[in-house]
Every structure is written in C-alpha cells, then in structure tokens.
A and B are shown apart, each in its own frame.
Chain A
Amino acid sequence: MVNNWYTQYTSDKQPAATLVGRIRPARLKALAFGLLCLFLPLLGQAQTMRAISGKVVDGQSVGLPGVTILVPGTSTGTSSGADGTFQLQVPESATTLSFSFVGYAAQQVDITGKTTVSVSMKDDAQALNEIVVVGYGTARKQDLTGAVAVLGEKDFNRGTFTSPEQLLQGRVSGVQVSNNSGQPGGPSTIRIRGNSAVTGSGQPLYVVDGVPLDGRTARPGLQASTDVGAGADSNPLNFLNPDDIETFTVLKDASATAIYGSRAAFGVVLITTKKGSAGAPVLSVGASTGFSTLLRRPAYLDAGQYRQALAKYGLPTSGPTSSDKGGNVNALDEILRTGRLQNYNVAMSGGNETGRYRLSLGYLDQDGIVRKSGFKKYSANLSTNFQFLESKKLGLDVNIATSQFREELPSITTDAGYRGSLIGQALQWNPTQPLRNPDGSLYIVAGDVVNPLAAQELYNDRSRVNTVLASISPSYRFADWLQYRMLLSVNYNNGERRTSINQRLINYPGIEDQGFAAISNNELVTQQLAHTLNFNKALTTDLNLNAVLGYEYTRFANTTSNVRAFGKPGEGGIPGGFGVYGLDYTNYIQYSAAGSRLIESSTDPTYALQSFFGRAILNYKNRYVLTGTLRRDESSKFGKNQSVGYFPSFAAAWDLSQEDFFPSDKLSQLKLRAGYGLTGNQEFPAGAAQNRYNLDNDGAQSPLTARNPNLKWQADAQFNVGIDIGAFNNRLTFSADYFNKTTTDLLFPRIPGEPRPGLFPVFWDNLDGKIVNKGVEMALGTALVRTEKVDVGLNVNSTFIRNEVSGLFGPAIVTGAINGQGLSGATSQLIRNGYPINAFFLPQYNGLTDAGLSKPFGAEAYGGSPNPRTLLGLSANARYGKFSLVANMTGVFGHYIYNNTLNAVGAVGGIGAGKNIALSTFENSIKEATGNPSAASTRYLEKGDFLKMSNLTLSYAVGNLGSFVKGARVYATGQNLFVLTSYNGFDPEVNTVKLGTNKVPSVGNDYLPYPSARTFTFGVNFNL
C-alpha cells in the first residue's frame, strides 16, 4: 500500500454529510456516529502529480516517524513512516516541502527538481513558529502574550508513572508537583504559582483535548469500621495513560487562564493526547519492566538498641513484665517488599489526508512497595480525525479514552488515631516481639498495639474505577480563516470499592469474631457542550487577528452509595462472624448481622455552568501583540444575586528583535510581555446558597446550611510581566516572569456568629481578606554542544515565591490537625494576617529538664512556613553517538514540615507502653522521662529543604533491526535515586493532606505516609 494518497471525495460519496445532519445532543448517538465514521472507507484518487520520497531522521540519525510533511499552502501532505521514510505525490508546481514535528524546529526543504530528499530534524524546545494549544483554540508561540509553558514528550520525566502529572514534576518553572503518597496511583498536590487555596483542592483545572475535567475521582472513600481513619484520596488523572500524552500546556498567568474563567484560579493544564498522522500504519510498541524499593526510612530502634533502651529508661529488662520478648524483627521490612512493575503500550496510527486514526492500548501493573498494595491500569484510547466534503470543509474528530484502574489499597490513612495505621504500627512495633508465633501463625493479642503484619494480611481493600472520556467534535470551515467547531463530551467515571477486615484482627472495635465488610459505589459524570467560532486572518499585510468566540454548558453529577456491616456476634460459645471460609467478606455481605448494617446514599445537588467567552489576539508586524479575553460564567451553585461572573484579561507583548533598530544577528527573539487578568474559583459544594436540610438516619431532618444568596466567586487577580530571549539560533533560550497574584473574596465555610446549624460550620461565604502570591520564575534552556555525534544540553528552571495573607476579618483560620495518641485537638497551622498561608503556629519547645521532662513550652508563636520559597528544576541531557543520558533533579527549599510521625509514634512514651521509639529520641543527650508527654510543639517542626534525583535515564538507540523493527531504543531509568535533605521523616516531598472539620486543607504535615519508593525501569521501544 502506498501511503501518499492525495484524496478527495466525489459528490456521490459523501455519506458523512447526511449523517452530520442527524447530530443531536444525545451523547450516545453522537458516539455511535463517531464510531461509524471510523469505519468509513478511506477513499483516494490520484491527480496530475509527481512522486517524491525521502527519509526524516532525528538528531541521532534515527528515522523519525510521524513527522508531518506538507506542500506549503495546500493540504497535500503525509507523515513519515515507522522508519522515517515517506513517499508523497506532490503537484508538479510544488517547490518546497515543510517538515514539522512537535519538539523539533519546523523546516522547509527545496524540492525543485528532486525526487528524493533527506531531512534531519533539529531539537528545538523554543521553536517560535510552533503552534501552541491555548484555551479553545491554538496560537502561534510568537503570538503568546501570557505565561505559558509547553512541554513535549522529550521534556517529560522518564520512568514508570501511574498518572500523567508526574511527567511534569520539576520541569516547569512556577509549578510545584508533590506526591501526597508513595503509593502507586496516589494523589499529587500541584501548585501553580504558590498556594492560594484556603479551601478546596487548590489544584489546576485539567483540560484533556478540550474537555475540562471535574477534578474529583470516582474512587469511593474508605468506609472502614470505626477508628481506622480516613483514607487518602485517589488521583483524578489516574485514568489517563501517560504514554498517550503528546504535550502539556501549562497556563500560568491570568491573561492565559482567564478564558477558563471561574475554574481557572489555580492555573490550567491543557493535556493534548497523541493523534494519528497521515501515512502508512505505524505500530509503536513499548515494553518495560522494573522494580521498586524503599527510598528512605526514619531510624527507629532495632532489637539490640531496644534492649539497651529498656535498660537506659529503667524498664524491666527480663522477666514476664519486660518488654524484651527475645526476638529480633524489623516490622517495617516485614510489611514492605521489592515491588515489580511491568508496562506495555501498543499504538497503531495512520491514515491519509482525510482520515487519521490512532488506537493505543496500555497495560500497567505496578506493585507497591508495601505488600498487598498495587496499581493496575488497562487503557484503550482511540482518536480519529476525519475531513468530509470535496472541499474538506467539514471535519469530525472523535476521541474515546477508556480505562480501568484497579488498586489494592493498604491500611494507611491520613489521620489515624492511637492505633496508628499500618506504617505507624510497623514503626512502633517492639523489635524484640516476633510477628508470628512459633507455629507460623500471626501473633495477635487484644489491645491497642496492632501487629502490622496482621493488620496487613487481615485487611483487604480493593477498588476499581472505570472511566470513559468520549468526545465528538464536528467542525466546519467556512473559509480558510473562519471555522466553527462543536464539542460534545461526556466523562463517565464509575468506581467501586470493597473493604473487609478479617474477624481475626481483634485489635479493632467490633472485629473480634465478627469481621467487617463494606461496599461503596460512586458515579461521577461530567457532560459538556461547547460551540466555538475561530477566526484567523490577516486583516492587512501587517495586522493579523486570531480570535475565538464561544459558548459552553457543563453539567456535573456525583452519586454515591455504600453498604457496610459487621458479622453476626458470637453467642454462647458459638463463634460468630463472617466465618473462616477463606472468602472475601464483601462477596457475601448478606451473611452479616442485620442490625449492624449501615446503608447510605447521596447525590450532589445539581451543578451546571453556562459560559460565553471570547478572545482576540492582534499581531502587528510580528512585533506588537495584543490579547484580550473575556468570559462570562453563570453557575447554578451561586446565590441568585451573584450567579454571574465576568473574567476579563488583557496582555501585550513586544518583540524587540523584530525591530529594525535591533541587531538581530545573534538574538532570534527578545520579547517583553505584560498582562493582567481576573479568574475565579468556585470550589465549594453545590447547594450552599440555599437553606438545606439533611435527611438523617431513622427519619429526622436537621438543618445543614443556612442560605447565602449573596455567595459569589472567589476572585484571583494576577499581574504578570515577562521576558523571552532566544539567542544563537535558539540554542540559548531564557524566560523570566514576575507575577503578583492576589486572591480576594475567599470562598470559605465561615463559622458564622452563633447560633448556627450544629452539624458543620458550613455557611459558605466570601471572606474579606486577601492572599498574595508574588514571585519570579525563570527558565533557561541551552544546547551547549550540538553536533552530529555529540549533544549536550542543560535546562534550569527556578521559582522564588512569597506568600502572605492579609485583611482577614475575624479569628485566624485553624488548620493542620495533628493526629495520634494524646494529640487530639492539637493543631499546627493558622491562616492569619501578616503571615504566609498555613503558617505554622506552635508552642515553642525549650528543651528538656535534667529530669527528662519538657521545660515549660513558650507561648504559641510563628514557627515557619510550609510553603517553599524556592523551587528548582535541573535537567541535563547528553548524547554521544547512539548513547544518551537524561538527568532530572527537583529541589524545593525554604519551607518547614511538621513531623507528626515522630511526634505521634517516635516519642519516648512509646517505650513505656511496650512500643518502639525513634532512634533520635533514644540518642537524645538528656535521658528523657518515659512519662514525658509528647505534646505538639516546635520540637517536631523540621526544615524541609531537599534536592531529589528525580530520574536518570541511559538509553541506546539501536536503530533498525532486521527488516521490520524500526527505530528501536533500549533504556534504563532510575527514579527517586536519592534525596539530599536533613529531614528525618520518610520523604520531605510527601504531603499528607488533612481536612479539618472546617474543610481547610493542611500543607506540609507528614503523618505516617505510604513511603516513597526508588524505582528502576528497563525498557525497549520500537516501531513496526
């Protein structure tokens, strides 16, 4: 089959046109239509043409597949095949061919009189003519006036990732990505230009191929028996396969994000998935395998040290009352393992001028380093693009991304009480007490000291989440410069979670001889309809207008239900419970005690958003660029009086290098940018504007919220000035931005003056007060050496941020709950005027008296900020021949972490209660009294600075193997190789987010997290 079809439809072969007429907002019909389109025959017919062929290679002389090859000014073109070769029929008149590929500098090649050409594509991260996806359209990079970072595949972090945002970590200035958990599939905290979220997630809006995501996850929350604690959230991006991502566009400042209006206050991340390109079918295969081990552990006593400690603290060292049980175990090692991983991706893509497709299948199976935890994902992605009619004015894009991810979840919770959840149980386990009896059975004794191995083996928690993200997008090109597009999408997520606790785990209440089972379901659906009209035209020779006008309607729904039950209690010597059949209790929950069953269901109040928006980019002489945007959002969530919000932005740029007076031989770009805009935040539960009454257990109603009809958007105003420099043929690029982001009208579940509804402090209101995040971010890209044989490049990005809260009326907002035995009611953070958001306020620790008791604490005072002042990303790449090395480092500096783990489970009191303690507690120069209370204080506040070797990849470009394997590459990647820090916990990156009763999330608390792993991946990629 020849892949250079110049195709056109004849008038009698236009089935698509009639079909288009039938499109209705009914989603299923639309999807069915999309699928139908996929199977339309691909038609072709040659014209008066001549043939040209050739090969495109990358910087390493390896054939580069998927390069778009076009005859400029026409739609004649193709893309390179798996080995980089191409063949094309071009009109006799054609004199040049353009070659473009994301991440490489586009180039034009003269083909006058040639039948073959050979093209070497050059890396160019800052390619100026690159087309960048911006909200609801595209723009040339040179037309950008806002702070926008584009990251292509070659800039991504390497290694094995369960969700795509981890590809970004440390790679974009102004963006902090930190893991909340070391668990595969665990959530991340992403902060674009600092933290301004008093409530809500503070996460950016994710837009996948034009479809904004809900931001929540359909994985149900943990419905455990009492006293286990709240489970960590799931990652809302888990459903995406990182291998399907082509680019991220991070919109950082308000002039770029204002087009997303009320959902854009925390920044916007546009995710573009890979698409098929015209050409012969290419089959890309990636396979990798690897393993993970524990990155770092805090030092706790081993058996020998424990015996010394018993003597030191004057506790019995022998006899029945001694805590020395004669053994030698490391409980943490017992619950951990070397986790295996395997990851396979297959993608088929191809098409012709009028129809392109890409179908990818992915499978990821990653064990957690904690036994009985892991993540599996099956994903299938189909994206198609069609053009219809003779004129090819009618287009149709259909994307369907489906996935299922299954998680096996360990008993690790974010706010465990005195039993300490799995990690705390392991750290606290007496290292002289064997975990198993001599006969091999688990050592289980009643009480609050839980055998971590038993807690692990007798606890089952599995979830699966099915996701379909489907969109159908017909478009019609009225003229070269005017295109209409409709986008109809549905994002359907369904999650189920089944949790059971074996009746032998008697340390939890109600479990003994009964056991516990819970089944939860969650359905999360987002439907969206958008119409856009794109206008792109040179109004005069020097003046170009790129504009978009649009309308969007989005509807969100979330429904949950759960059933949970205990087994039947034993009676008169007859054992009760779910029995010892070896089956999972959740498979026969009806076997439970009828009186112990708890049933709950709920659905969120209707939440719909209707928006009108527009943007215009005016470019005069490629020197002066003006951008203006406006969005009008109307939401069902807000009070009748304030349901409409307007979000404008303005920006301008001036490229000095285009000026005649500018000596431009060395500088290819010197652009100054300035912009200002307003965005909003509406992250609060729907229903808050109305009087609401709960329907409680056993037929009671209780007031939940008192209406606030004046509730309005939280407003973020952001000012940004920036400079972009490109020099030495863009081998040196530099961008710097100053930003000043002011958040006002803070949405907050205010505690109104009493009397108020007793259930929760949920009178949602706009607080007076503001949060300012200001700072400077810089990105430097270099290609130090760029020759046929050797490439060396270094990229550095850094961000310096200051954060301050001011103008809050009323009491400081309390957050940062500290958990653990003897610590209830203790908090660590305040949101208070004159301090950074979530500032640590703690009693001052003054050391120990000679008797080993804490000296009286000093008054509660500011102890530091959990918000980093400096972010650093370092990326180095080097190539010698076919070998290449990429190293990425991430650094975060200038912040504090509250080591709640040490406070709760490492303190001296544990040893008096027969538990283990931290080595640092034991090695304290003053012998601490075992009865010294482990009260919360600055004693446990630590500096959090760290520099992490995020990933290091060594790869070898094998090239072609035999006649069918093309462009093979083998690689080895190490992730999280080491971390340089003085922090004493597991990992300074981990942020155990806790929501207090006031729904205010904490920052920088480290409490019994799922430990971070060091991961090694070995893989191969090739094309067929």
Chain B
Amino acid sequence: MKYAKIACAAALLALLQGASSCELNENLGSQITDDQVRSSGLSALLQGAYNSQRDPIQGHVSVFALQEVSTDARIMPTRGPDWDDNGKWRALFNHTWDANNERVRETYTQLNGILYATTDLLRFSPTTQQAAEARFLRAWASFLVLDLYDQVLYREPGEQLSELARVRKGTVALDYIVSEINAVQASLPDAPVSRATKDAARVLLMKCYLNKGVYANRAAPTFAAADMNQVIRLADEIINSNRYSFTPNFFDNFAPNNGAIGLENIFTQANTFGNSGATRDLWKFVSHYNMRPVDGYNGPATTAAFYDLFEATDKRRGMAYDIAGGPANPGRRVNVGFLIGQQYNLITDAPLTIRSGAPLIFTKDINLSETGADLEAKGVRPIKYPVDYVSEAKGGNGCENDHVSFRLADVLLMKAEAILRGGAATSAGTYGATPLAIVNFIRTHPSRGASARTTMDLNELIDERGRELYSESWRRQDLIRFGKFLQPRKDKAASDPKYLIYPVPQTQVDINSNIIQNPGY
C-alpha cells in the first residue's frame, strides 16, 4: 500500500513535468546573433564598423587627447576645483603618463573596438567591397594604434577571445598595413567622403610612407627618397582627381553642414543629430561656463607659444563665422578659431563675466595648474569646429559637424614635406611644384588670408602644419617626425625618449603574454 502511494505520487510528478513545456533555449529578444547578422546582408554591420570610429577618433578625450594634449597645441590645465580629474590631463601635457593612465587605456580599448568590429565582419561572407571597406578601416585603426602605441594586436577572423591576440610591432605592423591598403584599394568606392574611398586609402598610404622612418626609429628617424616619392605620387593622384578644392571659408570644412560645403575633406565621419560621435566636445570642453548661448566646461586652452605662431591676418587664427541657426552675433565677435580677450554673449553682445563676477577675459597666459582668483579665465580657447547651435538647442545629444580625418591641405603639406625630405618635385594641379609654392598657395588662399613666405624649410613647415591642422589630431605625430616632440616647453621639461610611444595599458600587459611593455614603462 505504502509503495503504491509512492508510485502513484511519483507517476503524477513525472506526468505533470512532462505536461509542462520547459523551454531552455535562449532567444535574444532585441539583439541578433550570427545567423541573423549573416542573413541581413552585412551592410548594417559595416555601418556599425564605421560607427566604431566615433568613440576613439571623435571628441576630445581619446585619440585627440593623446595626439593634441601631449603637445604645445593644447593644454588641459587643472583649474582649482575643476579639471583635476585624477591628474590624467596634466600627465598628458607634461609627459608623465604611465601604463595606468585612464586616457591611455581607454583610447587603446576604443581603437581596438574598431579592430574587433572590422575583423569580426570578415568572419561572415562580405561582398568584395564590404571586405575592402572593413579592411581599410582596420588598417586605419591599426595605423593609429601603431602611431600611438607601436604594438598592434590582432586575431584572425573567427578566433575566440579566449585566445591571446598576437602582436605586430613597428615596421612589421606598418608593412602589414601598407599591404592591406594596397590589397583593397581597387575595390573601394570613389565616394562619398564619409566612406572608405580610394582617395582615403591614398592619404592613409601617404601617412604610412611619410612616417615609415619614424616607426623604424622614433628617436632619430631617417626618410628614404623612395618613400617620399610614393608620398608625392599619391598626392598627385589625389590632386589630379579634381574631387577636392579649397573652400571660400576655412571653417566651412568643419561647419555643421560641412558634409555639403566642406570641399577640402577627403575622409570624414558623417554626423547627424541623434546619430553622431562626440565632436561637440571640441567646443564644449573649451567654452567657459558662462558663455552664451552655448556654455561649456571651461577646460582646455592652447599655449601662448602656439597662439603666437599665427599672424594677425591669418583667418585660421579666428574670425566671426556665421552659422545657420546660430545667434546673431551683433558685435561680430570671434566665434571660431582662437578665442582671446573679453568674451561676449553672442545673442545680446553683453560682456560676459566669470562666476565670481569679474570680466571673462581669456588670457594668453596659462599654467598647467591654475590656482589664482582668475583661474577660470586663463588661456586662449581654440574652437575649430563651429558650434552647431541648432543641435545644441535640441538638447546637445550630438551635432551635425562631420568629423574630419583627411583633408586636401594635409595632402598638399605632406607633398611639400616629402619634397623637402628628398622626394622629386612634381607639378600637379594648380598648387605649384615647390614646397614654398605649395605652402604659399595654402597660406594666401582667400580662405586663409595669410602672407606669403619667402623661404620654406622643415622648421617653417612644421609651424605651417600646426597652423593648418591644429585640433585635427596630427600634432604629436608631426612633432615626432620633425624631432620636436620631446623638447622642453612651458610647464614641461625635456622629456625622456620613452614618451615617443605610449605604453600599452597595464591591463593588457597583465593578461596577454604576447605583449612586452614598451621600453621604459
């Protein structure tokens, strides 16, 4: 009887369990998995790979911080109670960073996000052009990693994350990047500039050849004429395509509608409100808290020495620029370029004050640690991307200024440099055949309005690159190539050669035995 009852109960238990549907398969709900990615044709995945450029390359805190804040072009001082931020910005400026610096770490992580997304796409079966675009983006991110950290990690498509990534260093990494670009270039489209085009590939190749000597020996680079001739050849190909031309106004290339009017741009990231990267940082970080109609975080500035590189007529130094949907700016106050002196409300033209009530007068003088009563007003503020007031008015979720990576003026300046470094001069387009002619074409173009130079050498050229390309994340790379990166400047002593390369973040060194930390860290 007892056993019968147990059996009966057990049978009931078994029956009820069988009757209930017990599904243990995982359905992702609002995300998709491999099969769905594959069947959706990869164009959305490729767009995601393009978007993965946003965090590392746009904004003020990643590649920008590493390439600009470590130089004379940008200083991020601690202003009393603000902008200490655990010392990470000051360390970039005065070359005291280490392998635990947050920005050094995060930038590495974000750049590797591009490497992951582009490599992962190749795991599926992309079309030839999709594969070419992904491989170009991977080469582009690899180039930035190489430039900053010297060590490029990689896994082959389909390798598990649990497997340690392998490392390509220095020249080996560069050779791989060059071979990748050459392999895919023919399969890339011609337009638009917000995609990986044949011309974008050409500019990236120019950067590779121009810096080849640097990656072989950063402390004492030498430049081979053959490489310089490659730079010149590629520049001429771009010039002769006649796709790019100078804009009537220098700042058109960076304006909220630069996708339409930025005629010099060769490779950009398209931004639309609500679907954009953090390019807005570039005006938010530098603007004072009390600026109107768009206030800011009152952080970075430029150094007095850098500001003094410009002559007064140089429109790149600053001007009043009309922005569609922006404030009237009745006083025609400088609102792009470098902001210096008394600042005004751009709606009412009323003079602005700092928070204690004293006038808001941006000074050339700036120290890495500001502790005085005027600490809020110190420093000249660079705003290269005109403020997108329309997007700001919508809540500042983003901006419509497309982010610019490659530009015609840079191509021309690289060509001039390659000639100065031993390449054979050529004549292409209307820009002249000598370094002096090329540079003067840029300088004297009405969009710049600077005076013509009478001589041109490497020392002049690096200054010109500074004037033309500030805030475009090339300053550190340029200073290293010209041997000036380590030199002492205000608030920074001459620095140890180890700072020519950023350390691989300690978090990666700790878990990947294939990585040997860069020397000195």
Which A residues are closer than 8 A to B by beta carbons? Answer: 25, 225-226, 314-316, 320-323, 418, 446-449, 478-479, 482, 484, 486, 509-511, 514, 516, 529, 531, 533, 549, 551, 553, 555, 566, 569, 593, 595-596, 598, 601-608, 610, 634-637, 643, 686-687, 689-704, 706, 708, 710, 751-759, 761, 763, 809-811, 821-827, 853, 907-910, 912-914, 929-936
Q: Are B110 and A758 in contact (CB under 8 A)?
A: yes
What are 23 of the A-B contact pairs (CB < 8 Å)? A323-B357, A447-B295, A510-B396, A596-B395, A603-B30, A686-B26, A694-B48, A695-B30, A696-B48, A698-B275, A700-B47, A701-B48, A704-B31, A751-B507, A754-B508, A755-B116, A755-B165, A822-B81, A825-B86, A827-B86, A908-B81, A909-B80, A931-B375
Q: Which residues of A contact B87 (CB under 8 A)?
A: 935
Identify 9 new A-B residue pairs, CB closer than 8 A, beyond the known A322-B357, A699-B47.
Answer: A323-B356, A323-B357, A446-B295, A700-B45, A751-B507, A755-B112, A755-B115, A821-B82, A912-B80
Q: Which residues of A contact B110 (CB under 8 A)?
A: 758
Q: Are B83 and A822 in contact (CB under 8 A)?
A: yes
Q: Which residues of B contact A225 (CB under 8 A)?
A: 395
B260 within 8 A of A: no
Q: Which residues of B contact A226 (CB under 8 A)?
A: 395-397
Q: Are B117 and A514 in contact (CB under 8 A)?
A: no
A166 vs B29: C-alpha distance in the bound complex, in angstroms?
Answer: 36
Q: Are A933 and B274 in contact (CB under 8 A)?
A: no
Asked if A701 meets B84 with Cβ closer than 8 Å, knowing A606-B29, A932-B371, the reply is no
Residue with the greatest number of chain A CB neighbours at <10 A, chosen from B12, B48, B375: B48
Asked if A758 meets B37 with Cβ closer than 8 Å, knowing A447-B289, A596-B395, A634-B24, the reply is no
A907 vs B78: C-alpha distance in the bound complex, in angstroms?
Answer: 15
Which B residues are closer than 8 A to A by beta carbons? Answer: 2, 5-6, 8-10, 12-13, 16-17, 19-34, 36-37, 40, 44-45, 47-52, 55, 78-88, 102, 108-110, 112-117, 119-120, 153-155, 160-162, 164-165, 272-275, 289-290, 292, 295, 297, 353, 355-358, 369-373, 375-376, 390, 392-397, 506-508, 510-512
Q: Are A811 and B24 in contact (CB under 8 A)?
A: no
Q: Are B161 and A752 in contact (CB under 8 A)?
A: yes
Nearest chain B CB to A406 CB, angstrom units: 28
Closest 9 CB pairs of A and B: A758-B113, A909-B81, A931-B371, A510-B395, A702-B48, A321-B357, A754-B112, A755-B112, A931-B80
Q: Which residues of B contact A603 (CB under 8 A)?
A: 29-30
Partner of A913, one of B30, B81, B394: B81
Nearest chain A CB to B128 CB, angstrom units: 20
Q: Are B117 and A693 in contact (CB under 8 A)?
A: no
Q: Which residues of B contact A936 (CB under 8 A)?
A: 86
A689 vs B47: C-alpha distance in the bound complex, in angstroms?
Answer: 25
Asked if A825 meets B88 with Cβ closer than 8 Å, knowing A478-B8, A701-B45, the reply is yes
Closest to B372 in A: A931
Nearest chain B CB to A70 CB, angstrom units: 25
Nearest chain B CB to A918 CB, angstrom units: 13
Q: Are A822 and B84 in contact (CB under 8 A)?
A: yes
A604 vs B29: C-alpha distance in the bound complex, in angstroms?
Answer: 6
Closest to B165 in A: A753
Asked if A703 meets B116 with Cβ closer than 8 Å, knowing A531-B17, A811-B507, the reply is yes
Q: Which residues of A contact B112 (CB under 8 A)?
A: 754-756, 758
Asked if A701 meets B9 with Cβ closer than 8 Å, knowing A758-B116, A930-B373, the reply is no
Closest to A598 in B: B274
Q: Which residues of A contact B9 (CB under 8 A)?
A: 478, 482, 484, 533
A703 vs B44: C-alpha distance in the bound complex, in angstroms?
Answer: 11
A810 vs B162: C-alpha distance in the bound complex, in angstroms?
Answer: 14
Q: Are A509 and B396 in contact (CB under 8 A)?
A: yes
Q: Which residues of A contact B396 (CB under 8 A)?
A: 226, 509-510
A449 vs B289: C-alpha distance in the bound complex, in angstroms?
Answer: 9
Closest to A612 in B: B17
A446 vs B153: C-alpha distance in the bound complex, in angstroms?
Answer: 47
Closest to A751 in B: B507
Asked if A934 meets B511 with Cβ closer than 8 Å, knowing A755-B112, A756-B161, the reply is no
Asked if A687 meets B26 with Cβ closer than 8 Å, knowing A315-B373, A700-B44, A824-B85, the reply is yes
Q: Which residues of B contact A449 (CB under 8 A)?
A: 355
Q: Are B25 and A636 in contact (CB under 8 A)?
A: yes
Q: Which residues of B contact A533 (CB under 8 A)?
A: 9-10, 13
Q: Which residues of A contact B6 (CB under 8 A)?
A: 478, 482
Q: Which residues of B contact A529 (CB under 8 A)?
A: 20
Asked if A516 meets B395 with Cβ closer than 8 Å, knowing A643-B24, A935-B86, the reply is yes
Nearest chain B CB to A150 CB, angstrom units: 29
A511 vs B86: C-alpha distance in the bound complex, in angstroms?
Answer: 31
Q: Are B297 and A418 in contact (CB under 8 A)?
A: yes
Q: Which residues of A contact B102 (CB under 8 A)?
A: 825
Nearest chain A CB to B168 CB, angstrom units: 12
Asked if A703 meets B84 with Cβ closer than 8 Å, knowing A531-B16, A693-B31, the reply is no
Q: Are B153 and A755 in contact (CB under 8 A)?
A: yes
Closest to B142 in A: A755
Partner of A933, one of B32, B81, B114, B162: B81
Asked if A697 meets B274 with Cβ closer than 8 Å, knowing A226-B395, A753-B511, the reply is yes
Q: Are A566 and B395 in contact (CB under 8 A)?
A: yes
Asked if A753 meets B164 with Cβ closer than 8 Å, knowing A447-B295, A914-B356, the reply is yes
A914 vs B353: C-alpha distance in the bound complex, in angstroms?
Answer: 12
Nearest chain A CB to B36 CB, angstrom units: 8
A1020 vs B23: C-alpha distance in the bound complex, in angstroms?
Answer: 51
Nearest chain A CB to B437 CB, angstrom units: 43
Q: Which residues of A contact B292 (CB under 8 A)?
A: 446
Closest to B370 in A: A931
A111 vs B170: C-alpha distance in the bound complex, in angstroms?
Answer: 97
Q: Which residues of B contact A686 (CB under 8 A)?
A: 26
A322 vs B358: C-alpha distance in the bound complex, in angstroms?
Answer: 9
Closest to A826 in B: B86
Q: Which residues of A contact B273 (CB under 8 A)?
A: 595
Nearest chain A CB to B395 CB, angstrom units: 3
Q: Are A763 and B81 in contact (CB under 8 A)?
A: no
Q: Are A810 and B355 in contact (CB under 8 A)?
A: no
A823 vs B87: C-alpha distance in the bound complex, in angstroms?
Answer: 9
Q: Are A605 and B28 in contact (CB under 8 A)?
A: yes
Q: Which residues of B contact A314 (CB under 8 A)?
A: 373
Q: Are B28 and A690 in contact (CB under 8 A)?
A: yes
Closest to A535 in B: B6
Q: Which residues of A contact B155 (CB under 8 A)?
A: 755
Q: Which residues of B contact A700 (CB under 8 A)?
A: 44-45, 47-48, 50-51
Q: Are A702 and B52 in contact (CB under 8 A)?
A: yes
Q: Are B31 and A753 in contact (CB under 8 A)?
A: no
Partner of A752, one of B10, B23, B162: B162
A694 vs B83: C-alpha distance in the bound complex, in angstroms?
Answer: 34
A729 vs B407: C-alpha distance in the bound complex, in angstroms?
Answer: 91
A598 vs B32: C-alpha distance in the bound complex, in angstroms?
Answer: 22
Q: Are A690 and B26 in contact (CB under 8 A)?
A: yes
Nearest chain A CB to B234 CB, angstrom units: 28
Closest to A319 in B: B357
Nearest chain A CB to B335 CB, angstrom units: 18
Q: Which residues of A contact B512 (CB under 8 A)?
A: 753-754
Q: Which residues of B contact A690 (CB under 8 A)?
A: 26, 28, 33
Partner of A693, one of B21, B45, B85, B372: B45
Q: Are A448 and B295 in contact (CB under 8 A)?
A: yes
A651 vs B117: C-alpha distance in the bound complex, in angstroms?
Answer: 51
Q: Which residues of B contact A486 (CB under 8 A)?
A: 16
Q: Which residues of A contact B55 (CB under 8 A)?
A: 758
A859 vs B88: C-alpha distance in the bound complex, in angstroms?
Answer: 15
Nearest chain B CB to A521 CB, angstrom units: 14
Q: Which residues of B contact A510 (CB under 8 A)?
A: 392-397
A830 vs B86: C-alpha distance in the bound complex, in angstroms?
Answer: 16
Nearest chain B CB to A475 CB, angstrom units: 11
Q: Are A566 and B117 in contact (CB under 8 A)?
A: no
A478 vs B84: C-alpha distance in the bound complex, in angstroms?
Answer: 73
A754 vs B115: C-alpha distance in the bound complex, in angstroms?
Answer: 9
A601 vs B29: C-alpha distance in the bound complex, in angstroms?
Answer: 11
Nearest chain B CB to A224 CB, angstrom units: 11
